[in-house]
Chain A
């Protein structure tokens, strides 16, 4: 089976279309960044509080917002998280309510507000244990204090109760996906005496805080700086390597192409109003590596062809090189796209932003090695020719391996 055989496309002849395409997408992204959605940073860069809550019933954002308002939190953002069937919500607070001296306050206020609004039973729950949010240590301690199996005489039974607590929470977190709908679900998981104690003096709050991120302003700023530096350093590292292996112009062209990809990807995040988190930065760094990889394959072929046929003009050498590697480019991109797509479809909410960046990035990265990096070499040579310098692009240092 073979997809591309003897293709002979004049890629450089289409450079104006490419330029238009790139311009439309970059400008759209930049405009959105400047005038529409802006660049929405995740709380890891902004600083702030983010609490992930799972509900027993489908959550109603308005009701949650009201609960928050009652608790005195007025600028909370409530977003559905994951699929509707998961009944999950992410509640976030801005940085100004996340002070370094009392980092945890925001989270506690949110939990309390939800507790007063969601737990059935109201005031009757005073002093009872919230089984949906209890930690293993708290539950074990609770059991031991109440001692439903009367083990205090027989050596205390702390081991026994710790095991029971572990079994109960394992059932909650792994079998039921984090939340009980009734304490009866514990029948057969824990001892009957334990279950009847819990029915009496524990309650279900109807929600479960399954993760929380609280990031102080100082850390947010440091992470922002660090992510930016990591990206710039890695670009510089690549530029230097390419300079060493090829010629400076190859490095510059590759870096420009990669910059183009990053701009469009970040633009896509702005256009779709998605947050840029630390994981998304990891994805952008990946796509930089990927796009660079793609560009180098084409450049390698250009270098090789330039050495074989020194008399041919650069435009046709570049065209031929792109055509020769086209089969590989399409195959690799297609296959990588396949893996990334599976990540996007099956990877779950946590990786959503990450895989979205890669889905966009791989398409753009493939396009840019053909449509941005290679034409730049030709444009550079034309510019040099116009200024009356040596017309032929240096073939690069001899490949030594």
Chain B
């Protein structure tokens, strides 16, 4: 009796897991309840699946860019200015070089560098009063990790602005700085790309020279090869006269990225769209100092490595400014990007999949049809082959399915198409356990044992085999879950849930039903097992 109650309780708990409390009693209400609780994968629901690579080394580069200015200022303040501080190799963002410190103050330079930068950098002195600062590996890692996390947060905020329900945005393939983005129910790839990809890296640089008609001409203006502290950049704004032209800019921006607090699309006196930006307080002070000492020089507003606008400094600017030459859409996007925070580094696409809603619906229909046909065929066969015991097996099979779906409902695991295949295989394994037990019971009966003893022996012998087969399969399912991706994982999830459910139904439930039947039978009456 206690066992019956236990089984019914389990049944109820898992039915609740599948449906929770439906909002009505009609068929459609149950259907909605089912689809609300069982999370369908993108292949069934339709949607977009993206794998992105965050170029984290750019974040390291941005940090050393900052350090260049800091080192310069610190040496200046200490009274032993260096001839130059630069990043010698664009391919090694973690490297800084200081050249030409006063030869008689080497000890002071060393102790200043050690105290200010020793925690982050390995400092080596070289010939000709030069120093090399290499960012420590732990520091590089922590910057990269932070950049990745920030990229995830930023993309999440942007996606939330799209109004997608239940998006997945998470780290992918641990340690490779990749991000997985899954957007169920969305099939507009170009718009999603636009929103995610836009790094909206806004910077303001000092203009060294320009505009020039070609890249070569730009390089010529600074002596043929561009020195490491400068950079050549193409024009990307809307001004017709400047299309295809190039500028030479100082490599290090005056303000960049996080320094911008907000930007709003606006309209200038002539009705042309532009954007008004606001700097943070700190950056505003810096900008004020710079603009007040550089009146008359040119500044360039750079968005995603393209010059949007170049203008003379008319007066000192503190924390507000206007960017023209954007066009309406760009101005709006820029405003959205700056409000949601900038991406710390640019992003590459590694993989994109789009599943349209029609394909998803078709797959569900076919998957469910195949499962039902398969299951019915098996259940009918069990009834014919095992008679009374077949009912027993069929009950166990149905309970197995309910527990499996209930598991999915409770755990929030997603059901994918290979997952449905996993369900079908679970049905197969469930049948196998029953067949193993029944065949064993038949053998014992043939050997002349009484029904009760035969059931007892049958279960005892089959149990060993069932444990072995299930544990082996669970071992492999767990490994698949750990090392597999996408469809393989979905398959592993349903398979392992199904196998656990199976251990319970085939062995415990089935046994209990046998026992209850035996209890009602007269001594010596035959067992209905075909």
> Hey, what's the 0/1 contact readout for A305-324 against B, CB within 8 Å counting as 1?
00000000000000000001
Say whether B425 contacts A223, CB under 8 Å: no
Say whether A338 contacts B348, CB under 8 Å: no
Question: Residue B439 at the A interface, CB < 8 A?
Answer: yes
- Contact flag A229-B431 (CB < 8 Å), given A135-B187, A178-B358: no
Set of chain B residues within 8 Å of A212, measured between Cβ atoms: 189, 352-354
Set of chain A residues within 8 Å of B374, measured between Cβ atoms: 338-343
Set of chain A residues within 8 Å of B53, measured between Cβ atoms: 218
Question: Residue A281 at the B interface, CB < 8 A?
Answer: yes
The closest CB in chain A to the CB of B423 belongs to A339
Question: Residue A347 at the B interface, CB < 8 A?
Answer: yes
Say whether A290 contacts B370, CB under 8 Å: no
Say whether A300 contacts B464, CB under 8 Å: yes
Q: State which of A138, A242, A335, A354 has its C-beta within 8 Å of the C-beta of B418.
A: A354
Question: Residue A328 at the B interface, CB < 8 A?
Answer: yes
Say whether B424 contacts A209, CB under 8 Å: no
Say whether A289 contacts B477, CB under 8 Å: yes
A residues 212-269 in Cβ contact with B at 8 Å: 212-216, 218-219, 222-223, 226-227, 229-230, 233-234, 237-238, 241-242, 245
Question: Residue B248 at the A interface, CB < 8 A?
Answer: no
Say whether B487 contacts A278, CB under 8 Å: yes
A209 to B193 alpha-carbon distance, docked (Å): 18
Question: Residue A174 at the B interface, CB < 8 A?
Answer: yes
B96 to chain A, nearest CB (A): 29
- Contact flag A234-B435 (CB < 8 Å), given A104-B352, A211-B355: no
> Hey, what's the 0/1 contact readout for A366-401 against B, CB within 8 Å counting as 1?
000000000000000000000000000000000101
- Contact flag A211-B435 (CB < 8 Å), given A226-B483, A300-B465, A339-B378: no
Question: Residue B222 at the A interface, CB < 8 A?
Answer: no
Question: Residue B402 at the A interface, CB < 8 A?
Answer: no
Q: Which of A20-28, A30-38, A291-299 contacts B (4 or more CB under 8 A)?
A: A291-299
How many residues of chain A get a CB closer than 8 Å to chain B's CBs? 85
Question: Residue B468 at the A interface, CB < 8 A?
Answer: yes
Set of chain B residues within 8 Å of A226, measured between Cβ atoms: 483-485
Say whether B377 contacts A339, CB under 8 Å: yes
A161 to chain B, nearest CB (A): 15
Set of chain B residues within 8 Å of A52, measured between Cβ atoms: 359
Set of chain B residues within 8 Å of A196, measured between Cβ atoms: none
Set of chain A residues within 8 Å of B476, measured between Cβ atoms: 234, 237-238, 285, 288-289, 292
Set of chain A residues within 8 Å of B479, measured between Cβ atoms: 230, 233-234, 237
Question: Residue B367 at the A interface, CB < 8 A?
Answer: yes
B175 to chain A, nearest CB (A): 12
Say whether B377 contacts A338, CB under 8 Å: yes
Q: State which of A2, A104, A138, A172 has its C-beta within 8 Å of the C-beta of B530.
A: A2
Say whether A354 contacts B352, CB under 8 Å: no
Say whether A335 contacts B378, CB under 8 Å: yes
Set of chain B residues within 8 Å of A216, measured between Cβ atoms: 349-351
Question: Residue A101 at the B interface, CB < 8 A?
Answer: yes
Question: Residue A41 at the B interface, CB < 8 A?
Answer: no
A281 to chain B, nearest CB (A): 6
A329 to B472 alpha-carbon distance, docked (Å): 18
Say whether B188 contacts A343, CB under 8 Å: no
Question: Residue B88 at the A interface, CB < 8 A?
Answer: no
Set of chain A residues within 8 Å of B173, measured between Cβ atoms: 222
Question: Residue A336 at the B interface, CB < 8 A?
Answer: yes
Set of chain A residues within 8 Å of B467, measured between Cβ atoms: 401
Set of chain B residues within 8 Å of A210, measured between Cβ atoms: 356, 358-359
Can you spell out 11 A-B residue pairs with CB atoms less than 8 angstroms apart?
A103-B350, A138-B191, A173-B357, A234-B479, A237-B476, A293-B472, A324-B443, A332-B428, A336-B425, A338-B374, A338-B378
Further 11 A-B residue pairs, CB within 8 A, beyond A242-B472, A290-B425, A342-B370? A103-B350, A136-B187, A137-B191, A177-B362, A211-B354, A216-B350, A230-B483, A238-B472, A289-B472, A338-B374, A348-B363
Q: Nearest 8 CB-CB pairs, A to B?
A: A339-B374, A348-B366, A135-B188, A336-B428, A178-B358, A210-B356, A234-B476, A342-B374
